[in-house]
Amino acid sequence: MTKSIFLFAFLILGASAIAQKAQKIGYVDLEYILENIPEYMEAQTKINAKAIAWQSDIEKQQKEIEALKADLNNEKALLTKALIEEKEEDIQIKELDLKNQQIAHFGTNGDLFFLRQQLVKPVQDIVYNAIQDIATKRKFDFVMDKSSALLMLYTNKEFDISELVLNSVTRSKKVEAVKEKQSQKEDKLDIKTDEDVEVNTEINNEALQEKIDDREAKKEALKKKIEDQKAEKLRLREEQKKAIEEKRQQRIKEIEAAKKAQQEKKENN
C-alpha cells in the first residue's frame, strides 16, 4: 500500500516536471525598454513638471493657512467673539478648498491620472502590443518583467526579449512616420483628403473633449458649492450683526426713555 502511494506521488511529480519543462518562459526589462523610448521620457518629464507645480502651489497655500492660524492665535485676546468666529470660518473654507484641490490634482481620478493616461498610456500600449506579438510568434507561454517586484534569482540572457521589443517599437514608429509622410503627400494632392483628416481629428477628439468638459463642470460645481457655503455663512453673520445692532438700538431707546421719565419726574417734583 505504501509503495503504491510513493509510486503514485512519483508519477505525479514526474508529470508536473515534464509539463513545466515543456513551457517556454521569456522575460523583459520593462524599465530599460521605456527609458529608451524618447516619447515616454518626454511624457514623464511633462508629468513630473506638472506634479511639482501643483504640489508647490498646494504647499504655498498650506503655508498661507498656517500663517492665518498663527495670526489669529496671536490676536485672539484683542478680538471679539464674532470676529474670531469669522476668521475661523474663513480658515476652514480655505482648508476645504485646499483639500479639494489636492483630490482634484492627485486623487484616484485626478488631473495627474488623466495626464498620465493621455501621455504615457499610448506608449505603454505600443510596448505591451509588441511584447504580445513577439511572445505569440516565438511561442512563449509566459513573459515576465525583470524590473518589477518579481524576484528573479537567475536569468538566462537567451530568453531576454527586451531588445526585440525595443526594436519592434522602433520599427512601428518608423512605419507610422512613413504613413504620416504618405498621408501628408496625399493631403497636398487631394483637397478632399484634408477635409477627411479634419473630420477624423474632430471625431477622435470628441471623447477627450467630453472628459475635459466633464472635469471642468465638476470643478465649477465644486467651486460654486464652496462659494454658496461662504455666501450662506456671510448671510448668517450679517443677520447676526443686524440682530445685535437692533438689540443695541433697542437698549439705547430704553435707556433714553428711562432718562426722560426720570427727568420728567424731577421736573414735576
**Residue matched to cell numbers 485646499:** 98
With H, G, I as helix, E, B as strand and everything else as coil, classify residue 108.
Answer: coil
pLDDT digits (tens, 9 = 90+) for 26-59: 888 888 888 888 888 998 999 999 999 999 999 9
238, pLDDT greater than 60: yes
* Listed residue (39, 217, 183) closest to 124, CA to CA: 39
Residue 139 backbone dihedrals phi, psi, to 5 degrees: 60, 45
249, pLDDT greater than 90: no
* Listed residue (150, 97, 123, 250) closest to 258, CA to CA: 250
**Residue matched to cell numbers 485672539:** 76
Q: Which residues contact 203 (CB under 8 A, 6 or more apart)?
A: none
The phi-psi region of residue 107 (left if phi > 0; otherwise alpha if psi is between -120 and 50; otherwise beta) is beta
Q: What is the pLDDT of residue 62?
A: 94
Q: What is the pLDDT of residue 58?
A: 93
pLDDT digits (tens, 9 = 90+) for 95-140: 999 999 999 999 888 999 999 888 888 888 888 888 888 888 888 8
192, pLDDT greater than 50: no
**Residue matched to cell numbers 522602433:** 170
Q: In which band, very low, low, confident or very high, does the pLDDT at 10 lie, cut at 50, 70 and 90? A: very low
What is the rounded CA–CA span in Å between residue 269 and residue 259?
Answer: 15
Lookup: cell for 246: 437692533
Residue 142 backbone dihedrals phi, psi, to 5 degrees: -140, 145
pLDDT digits (tens, 9 = 90+) for 210-237: 777 677 777 777 777 778 877 887 787 7
* Listed residue (147, 154, 109, 167) closest to 29, CA to CA: 147
- 120 contacts 40 by C-beta, under 8 angstroms: yes
Q: What is the pLDDT of residue 156?
A: 60
More confident position, 183 or 40? 40
Neighbouring C-alpha atoms within 13 Å toward the C-beta of 43:
20
**Topology annotation, domain 21-188:** Protein Binding, DinI Protein; Chain A (3.30.910)
- List for the chain the helix, strand, coil content (%; round to 5): 85, 5, 10
Residue 180 backbone dihedrals phi, psi, to 5 degrees: -65, -45
What is the rounded CA–CA span in Å between residue 58 and residue 88?
Answer: 20
Q: Which residues contact 200 (CB under 8 A, 6 or more apart)?
A: none
- Average pLDDT value for residue range 185-190: 56
The verdict on pTM exceeding 0.75 is: no
Percent of the residues in the chain that have a pLDDT greater than 70, as a whole number: 73
17, pLDDT greater than 50: no
Q: What is the pLDDT of residue 52?
A: 95
